[in-house]
Amino acid sequence: MSVGTFNRIALDVTGEATYGDTTSAITVDKSYPVRADRPVINVETVNDQDTLIGALENGLQSIVTKVTATQTIEMDARLDAMATFGKFGLGKLATSGASAPYTHTITVGTSAAERVLPSFVHFFGDALNSATTNMWQFAGTKVSRLTIAGEAGGKVTMSVDLISGKPVSASTGAQIETAITPPAFLGLAVDPILAMARVSTFSIGGTSFLNQLKSFEFVFENVFDEAAEMAAGSIMVPAMERIGFNVSGSFTLKADTAAASTTLINSYLTKIDTANTLGIQSLPEIILAIGGGKSGHSATITIRAAALADGSVAGQRGKLEKPFTFTGMYDPGDSEAARLVVINDQATYT
């Protein structure tokens, strides 16, 4: 991953009214500095070479059947960016509050439109370059994976995997954009960065492990059926309907005393299986809360039912530094697998 100091991504947080629409006016209202390589254009073709009989025959035609663009962007985690990409990564955002700070609750949507997952147009380029030909525009963009991670003594970071799809046409799809100018990237403020020092809550099944938390990673991943809406004889890339949603992650806990290590091990065994016997695994709730650098501002990640894995113990005598992994399961009681709550001064993301 290149470190592009002046690379920025910009988008309209409202999203596309029609998937892949490049004709409507686009209002850029979000812009973030990112570390990213240029997007990769993926072209799929079919040709008649394999159907020929003669050893010396050459194919006559190659037909483009699908074009997508993929890109991974990395950034310092900020509340505004977490809400923006959380909305597009999970599917549903509801805002409450009559005045700032506002509470934005992000969950996996269940309506028809939310299940498909909202799409947006995004721009990527060098914010300080005056040549508008260096701006890349991608329509029909969806978030395929959102990763939020942090390590003791460092910043909280976000990684967002994007996939864009469009009809194959000279005037649409992945293209160089001339309608937007670099100043549109520069004039938008961003929230303060998040840091591990601001983690205020980390609990597993109601037991706090805040003082033992060394690192964490939460991954929200969408599964798309890219061919669901492809018509016969068409070269239209479909709207990438979401057919699955996976939650996973990992965290490392560190105990510096023998007593703390014993407490940690026993508590973990309890989370694995209440009776410490073979049977149905208990699924504790994991909660991580991070202060946003301003009074009353925060981000809270909740994994409703975490299936913890790997009960092995590592570390020296009297001390324990243990990585854990988990898979987020669906909790029928709360009717969800995970949620992200962001509290900041932004009034709306619609």
How far is 169 from 271, CA to CA, in rounded Å? 54
Q: Which pLDDT score is estimated for 162?
A: 94
More confident residue, 316 or 284: 284
H or E element that contains 79:
helix 79-90
Res. 127 pLDDT band, cuts 50 70 90: low
What's the residue count for the chain?
350
Check residues 79 and 332 and name the one with the higher pLDDT.
79
Assess contact for 122 and 141: CB atoms under 8 A.
Answer: yes
What is the C-alpha R_g of the chain? 23
Q: 3-state SS string over 245-306?
A: EEEEEEEEEEECCHHHHHHHHHHHHHHHCCCCCCCCCCCCCEEEEEECCCCCCEEEEEECEE
Mean pLDDT value across the chain: 79
Q: What pLDDT score does 337 carry? A: 92
The CA distance from 26 to 334, in Å, is 37
Distances (CA, A) of 46 to 49, 61, 70, 346: 9, 8, 21, 47
Q: What is the pLDDT of residue 74?
A: 95
The top-scoring range by mean pLDDT among 16-25, 281-290, 314-323 is 281-290
Rounded CA-CA distance 10/18 in Å is 19
| pLDDT recorded at residue 115 | 80
pLDDT at 20 over 90: no
Higher pLDDT, 130 or 259: 259
Q: Which residue has the higher pLDDT, 234 or 88?
A: 88
pLDDT at 312: 60
Contact between residue 87 and residue 160 where contact means Cβ atoms under 8 Å apart: no
Average pLDDT value for residue range 247-270:
77
Q: Per residue in 71-120, pLDDT tens?
A: 999 999 999 999 999 999 999 999 999 999 999 999 998 777 778 888 88
Query: What's the sign of the alpha-carbon dihedral 107, 108, 113, 119?
Result: positive
As a whole number of angstroms, the longest Cα–Cα distance in the chain is: 77
Q: Are 166 and 172 in contact (CB under 8 A)?
A: yes
User: Residue 200 has what pLDDT?
Assistant: 95
Position 199, amino acid: V
Q: Looking at residue 314, what is its pLDDT? A: 58
Quote the CA–CA distance of 64 and 255 in Å, as a whole number. Answer: 57
For the stretch 81-94, what's the b/e string if a residue is b when 16 or more beta carbons lie within 10 angstroms of its beta carbon?
bbbbbbbbbbbbbe
Q: pLDDT at position 166, please?
A: 61
Averaged over 189-199, what is the pLDDT?
Answer: 86
pLDDT, position 256: 74
345 pLDDT more than 70 = yes
19 in Cβ contact with 36 (< 8 Å) = no
* In the predicted structure, residue 261 carries a pLDDT above the cut 80: no
Q: How far is CA 82 from CA 3, 53, 77, 251, in A?
A: 21, 56, 7, 20
Are 67 and 37 in contact by the 8 Å Cβ rule? The answer is: no
- What average pLDDT does this structure show over 194-223? 93
Those residues whose C-beta lies under 8 Å from the C-beta of residue 292, and which sit 6 or more positions away, are: 79, 191, 192, 194, 198, 298, 299, 343, 344
Q: Which is higher by pLDDT, 188 or 333?
A: 333
**Is-cis flag, bond preceding 182, omega within 30?**
no
Share of the chain above pLDDT 90, in %: 35
- Percentage of residues of the chain with pLDDT beyond 70: 71
pLDDT one-digit tens code per residue, 138-162: 888 999 999 999 999 999 999 999 9
Residue ranges per structural domain of the chain: 7-41+66-344
Least confident segment among 27-36, 153-162, 205-214 = 27-36
Q: Angle at Cα 338 formed by Cα 332 and Cα 341, nearest 5°?
A: 125
The predicted structure's pLDDT at residue 46: 75
CB 12 within 8 A of CB 139: no
Q: Is the pLDDT of residue 323 over 60?
A: yes
Q: Which range, of 9-18, 20-29, 50-59, 153-162, averages the lowest pLDDT?
A: 50-59
Distance between CA atoms of residues 303 and 119, nearest Å: 25
Q: What's the pTM value of the predicted model, to 2 decimals?
A: 0.86
